[in-house]
Amino acid sequence: MRFCYRCGISEEEGGPLINGLCQVCFRKENPILLLPSEINTELCQNCGSYRKRGVWVDPQNYELEALIFEVAENALIETIEDSLDKVKEFEVVEWEELEKVEEIPVGKALVAFRVLDYHIEHFPAIIVYEVRAKARIHELQVEPHDETVTTTVYVRQTVCPRCQKFLAGYYEAILQVRVEDREFTKEEREEITKLVQEKVDEIMQRDRMGFIQDTIEKEEGIDFYMGSTSAARKLANAIRERYGGVISEAYELVGLDRQTSKEVYRTSVTIRLPKFRKGDIVEDRHGRVYRVESVDGKGMRLKNLETWESDHFDWKTIKREKIDLVEHEERKALLMGQTPTEAQFMDMETYETFEVRKPKEKLEDGEVYKIVRVKGKLYIKEKEGRE
C-alpha cells in the first residue's frame, strides 16, 4: 500500500496518488489560480484606448462607466490567462454556469468572475473582483481544482502614444490633392474633404496613426497632414478610384531617429485629378465631339454629340485617341420643328433660326436646348435643365 508523503494518508483512503501526493495534497501543492492581489492598468484620457497584450486598441464602448469596466476586465482576463500556465486552454463562463460544472477535460480550465465592489467616481478607478476557476491538470485527478481568489484592479489615466504625437502636432505624411490645368471647384473640394473624412474613420480601425493632424486649403488644392504614410496612400487611392487621376510621391529628409540613428523622411503623396469634369466638351483625334457625362478612376463616360450614343472610355483609350478639351461656344435655343434628319432652332437671344443635324434620340418641340459650336459645326449638347 502506498501513502501520501505529505500528509501520510493511504492511497486507498485518499484516492490515486499523483507524483506521490494524495488528491487533496496534489491540488494544494499545484494551485492553478495564482493572481496578484492588485492589478494595474491604464486607459488614454483623450481617446479611451487601452493596452491589450501590449498593443493600444480602441474601446468597444466610449461611455465612461462601460469603458472603465471594459479596460478592467481586459486586464483581469489577461492576468488570469498568464496565471493558468498549468492548463492548455481556458474558457470564461458565467458564475452560475461554473457552479454547475462537475466534469472538466484534462488540460482545460473554466473561469468565472464577478464584481464585489467598485469606486469609479474618480481616477484611479477601483474594481474588486472575485475570481473562481475549476480545472483538471492531471489525468489521475478524481476531483478538479476549485479555487477562488479576490483581486483589485486599478484603472489609471494616461496619454497613449498616438495622442501624445497628435497633441505634439506630429505628422508623417502630407496628402496633396491637386487638379490638372484647371480650377479646383468648391464642390470638388467639399466632396473630396467628405470622402477623406469618411475613409479616415475606416482606416483608423486598422491604423491608429491614420489620423488627420491638420487640413489646409490652398488656391491650388487641399493638403491633409496625416499621422501615417500608409493612411495617406490609402486615401490617395480612394480619391483616384472615385475621381481618377495620377498619384506621385516625394520625400523630404527631416532628421535622424534618436534610437536607430537612421534617416527619417517625410512623404508627400500627391493625387492630381484629371483636367476633365462632367459637362466638358472634348474632341478625339478623328474630330468626333463628345460631352463628358462622368469621370471616375477607370476613365470617362462620353456622349457622342452627333449620335447621342454614350460609351465608357478607359484612360488608356483616352490617351491613345488623344481625347482632349476643345474650344467651343455655347448658347440656348428653342426647338421650333423637326424633319427626319434636321432640327430647326431659334436662338433665345438673337432670335436667329438655324438647323442642326438630329441625334438618334427623340427631341421635344417647344423645349429649350443647349447648342455648342465646335470649329464652325453645331451640335445639340443637351436639353436645358438636364445635367
Is this structure's pTM higher than 0.75? Answer: no
Q: What is the mean predicted confidence (pLDDT) over 242-252?
A: 90
| Topology given in CATH for the domain delimited by 280-383 | OB fold (Dihydrolipoamide Acetyltransferase, E2P) (2.40.50)
CA contacts within 13 A on the Cβ side of 92? 11
- Whether pLDDT at 387 is above 60: no
Q: Print the SS3 string covering 98-165.
A: HHHCCCCCECEEEEEEEEEEEECCCCCEEEEEEEEEEEECCCCCCCCEEEEEEEEEEEEEECCHHHHH
Q: In the structure, what pLDDT confidence band is assigned to residue 259 with cuts at 50, 70 and 90?
A: low
269-312 pLDDT, tens digit per residue, is 999 999 998 889 999 999 999 999 999 888 999 999 998 999 99
For 69-116, the pLDDT digits (tens) are 999 999 999 999 999 988 999 999 999 999 998 889 999 999 999 999
Closest to 32 measured CA to CA, from 76, 71, 72, 88: 88
> Which residue has cell 479576490?
150
The string of pLDDT tens digits covering residues 11-66 is 888 899 999 999 999 999 999 999 999 999 999 999 999 999 999 999 999 999 99
Taking residues 249-269, report their average pLDDT.
82
Tell me the per-residue pLDDT of 112-171, one tens digit each, with 9 for 90 and over.
999 999 999 999 999 999 999 999 999 999 999 999 999 999 999 999 999 998 998 999
Residues 6+ apart with CB under 8 A from 243: 188, 192, 273, 274, 295, 296, 297
Provide the pLDDT for residue 45. 94
Average pLDDT, the chain: 92
Angle at alpha carbon of residue 374, lines to 369 and 376, rounded to 5°: 105
pLDDT per residue as tens digits for the range 215-232: 999 999 999 999 999 999
pLDDT of residue 334: 95
Residue 332 pLDDT exceeds 70: yes
pLDDT the model gives residue 102: 84
| Res. 189 pLDDT band, cuts 50 70 90 | very high
The residue that leads in pLDDT, 235 or 165, is: 235
pLDDT of residue 300: 93
Helix (H, G, I), strand (E, B) or coil at 26: helix
* Domain ranges for the chain: 31-159, 169-273, 280-383
pLDDT score of 375 more than 90: yes
